[in-house]
Structure 1
Amino acid sequence: MARAQSQNNAAESAPPSWLTRVAQEHARVFFFSLGKLVAHKGSSLLTAAVIGIALALPAALHLAVNNFQRLAYTWQNDLQLSLFLKDSVDEASGRQLTQQLASRDGVKAARYISREQSAAEFRELSGFGEVLDLLEHNPLPAVIVVSPDASRSAAQVTVLAQALAALPEVELSQMDQQWLQRLQSLLSIFERVVMMAAALLGVAVLVIVGNTLRLDIEARRDEIIVMKLIGAPDGFIRRPFLYGGCWLGLLGGWVALLLLTVGLAVLQAPARELAALYQSDFTIQGPSAGSVLMIIAGGVLLGLVAAWWTVTRHLAAIEPS
């Protein structure tokens, strides 16, 4: 019994393992840095707000590009290729050709419009129907309206349009997709602008966090000198500042998400009203779960990098005299 008791006492008095000591130290610094953030909540919130704005701007631009791309894809699904048939092609041949095109690979649907239907549409839509009455013959050709498959890329649709335009029965083909190609090119340029803005604002976040931590280091200069005198390594001194940078970046990420949420809430109603005017059900799409995680992780990473760079640089300049 006494031997078992002595073994228990020895086990209790044994020093904790290396992993336990590391976990305890990080837990202590974790809550210590959080306490300092709460103790200086005014300046911490102000710094987090600036970080949040810097993170929200590129995130909002990226969100705008994604929504414009969705809108452009919706418009692309409504594209139609008009094949104007030669006068020598009679209605039976035209309808037969329409059936052949409808079963062609890459074609979603094909619709035949006779010369009489073309004239009727011209009278109804143009407002110049009286002009047709002055002519002896109907000058409008028969048309086959082809709807490309929405799953096809822009390059594949272009190849399809060229192949259909080369048919011997076709006099002229027309597809108004040039403006879509221009829009896609503009969106591609805008994506690069967003990346440049994100890089510049990321540098701004590094400067903001770095300047905040620099002031904290200067305020604790005497404490750092004492720790160096008793032999504390730079890693031990640096650790609370690294956690502080992570906390500021995390808080700034949440501020950025809050700003995005408010902005989307303000724009949703006008966007729905505008889409309704064009008989569309388009709505502004918010950030995905991956984008949310990227914003949060980006804020934490920027805070950590800024803290590491600032603290390492200033610790090297602080030496006991």
Structure 2
Amino acid sequence: MWVLTNVPRAKKRPPEGARVARRGVVTRYRAWVRHHRASAADSLLKILDHPVSSMLTWLVVGIAMALPVSLMLTLDNLRGLEGSVADEASLSLFLAESVDTAAARALAQTISERDDVAGVRYHSRDKALEEFREQSGFADIIDGLGSNPLPHLLLVTPRDRTSVAASEDLAAALSGLPAVAEVVVDSAWLRRLQGLLAVGERIVLTLALLLSMGVVLILGNTIRLAIENRREEIRVVRLVGGSNAFVRRPFLYTGLWYGVGGGVAAAMLTALGLWSLGGPVSALAAAYDAEWSLSGLGIVGSCQLVLAGGVLGLVGAWVAVSRHLRAVEPA
């Protein structure tokens, strides 16, 4: 009994049909991968065989993509300027003439304890008069005044510096205090800047959509010409049983390479434009004693631009192939 239980048993073999089916799936997958590689390499070589026309196509696509990207970068840099200005934005509280130094300091302490206030700076009337004496050049006239006509000043910084509405609400609340004679809100031009940025965003989005459609049409027309030049080759492939996906694949890779090249050209044109503007912008910022410089796409943004170009190239190629490939029938 022990001998019988230890006799090695023959392994069960899978049915012959299952092995054939498994080999068929693997073979088809490997053939599919090989054809993708061959189509990608062959389409790139065909593009490089005509360097002048390919460069012109890349340049046209690059200009069409660089224009909305440049405008978008301009808006982003203006938002950075808006943030730096908002950091310096404050409310100017001019106190009544009857408020003395002790009362002004106490009021500054009370306002600084509010939840919507980030900080309060106190400027006495004597300090303000001294600064005015030094900067105006009317020292003799000021010395002839019988008394100091300037009030105490409190500079209140809101906690939410980027919201014009929050600054105006805070100004309305502080203007009701008995010791406050007048409140000046330095946010009018900031509101105008925010409005211009909102309009600019709509313009950039509309322009980007229109130019994206233009890129798709440009690449679609390029692929259409490629289909016409290879019409006889397509007919032969269809005569021997080539599927639509098999025929379509090289043209999709052609559109992809054109789109990727256009994205690279757009990134280079954008970087060149920012480099040419960097010097004048730095000189202008230095004239106003400001530290502000232009920010570009960076590596991530450039890669995203190249990826967007590739997607537009694929879309343009797909539209062109789907429309014009039906007209090429085997003889």
What is the TM-score normalised by the length of structure 2? 0.87
Aligned partner letter, 1:224: I
Q: Distance in 2 between matches of 1:288 and 1:100?
A: 46
Q: Distance in 2 between matches of 1:127 and 1:172?
A: 27
Instruction: Specify the alignment match of 1:7 in structure 2.
Output: none
- Does residue 25 in structure 1 map to residue 35 in structure 2? yes
CA contact (8 A) 2:86 2:161 kept: no
CA contact (8 A) 1:109 1:148 kept: yes
Root mean square deviation, CA, Å: 2.1
Counting aligned pairs with the same residue, the percent is: 42
Q: Distance in 2 between matches of 1:120 and 1:37?
A: 74
Instruction: Specify the alignment match of 1:140 in structure 2.
Output: 150
Q: CA deviation at 1:131?
A: 5.6
Q: CA deviation at 1:99?
A: 1.9
Instruction: Specify the alignment match of 1:281 in structure 2.
Output: 291
CA deviations 1:69-110 (Å, max 9, x no partner) are: 101110111112110111222221111111222333233332
Instruction: Specify the alignment match of 2:221 in structure 1.
Output: 211
Instruction: Specify the alignment match of 1:258 in structure 2.
Output: 268
Aligned partner letter, 1:62: M
The total of aligned residue pairs comes to 310
Q: Distance in 2 between matches of 1:152 and 1:230?
A: 67
User: Of the candidates 273, 295, 303, which is equivalent to residue 305 of structure 2?
Assistant: 295
User: Of the candidates 202, 213, 222, which is equivalent to residue 192 of structure 1?
Assistant: 202
The unaligned stretches of length 5 or more in structure 2 are: 1-18
Q: Give matches, 1:33-112, under 5 Å.
A: 33-112=43-122
CA deviations 1:260-304 (Å, max 9, x no partner) are: 111121111211111111111111111144432331121011100
Q: Secondary structure at the match of 1:24?
A: helix
Q: Distance in 2 between matches of 1:185 and 1:177?
A: 12
Q: Secondary structure at the match of 2:206?
A: helix
CA contact (8 A) 1:114 1:141 kept: yes
Q: Distance in 2 between matches of 1:29 and 1:147?
A: 63
Q: Distance in 2 between matches of 1:307 and 1:81?
A: 57
Q: Give matches, 1:226-237, under 5 Å.
A: 226-237=236-247
Change over 3 Å in CA distance of 1:152–1:72 after alignment to 2? closer
Q: Distance in 2 between matches of 1:176 and 1:65?
A: 22
Q: Distance in 1 between matches of 2:28 and 2:175?
A: 76
Instruction: Specify the alignment match of 2:322 in structure 1.
Output: 312
CA deviations 1:216-244 (Å, max 9, x no partner) are: 11111111122222222211111100000
Instruction: Specify the alignment match of 1:240 in structure 2.
Output: 250
Q: Secondary structure at the match of 1:17?
A: helix
Change over 3 Å in CA distance of 1:228–1:267 after alignment to 2? same
Aligned partner letter, 2:120: A
CA contact (8 A) 1:76 1:150 kept: no
Q: Distance in 2 between matches of 1:308 and 1:61?
A: 29
Q: Distance in 1 between matches of 2:238 and 2:219?
A: 24
Instruction: Specify the alignment match of 2:189 in structure 1.
Output: 179
Q: Secondary structure at the match of 1:109?
A: strand
CA contact (8 A) 2:167 2:185 kept: no
Q: Distance in 2 between matches of 1:194 and 1:294?
A: 17
Aligned partner letter, 1:92: A
CA contact (8 A) 1:206 1:302 kept: yes
Q: Distance in 2 between matches of 1:235 and 1:186?
A: 48
Q: Secondary structure at the match of 1:173?
A: strand
Moved more, 253-262 or 280-289: 280-289
Q: Distance in 2 between matches of 1:18 and 1:226?
A: 22
CA contact (8 A) 1:106 1:152 kept: no
**In terms of Rg, which structure is larger?**
2
What is the TM-score normalised by the length of structure 1? 0.89
Q: Secondary structure at the match of 2:114?
A: coil
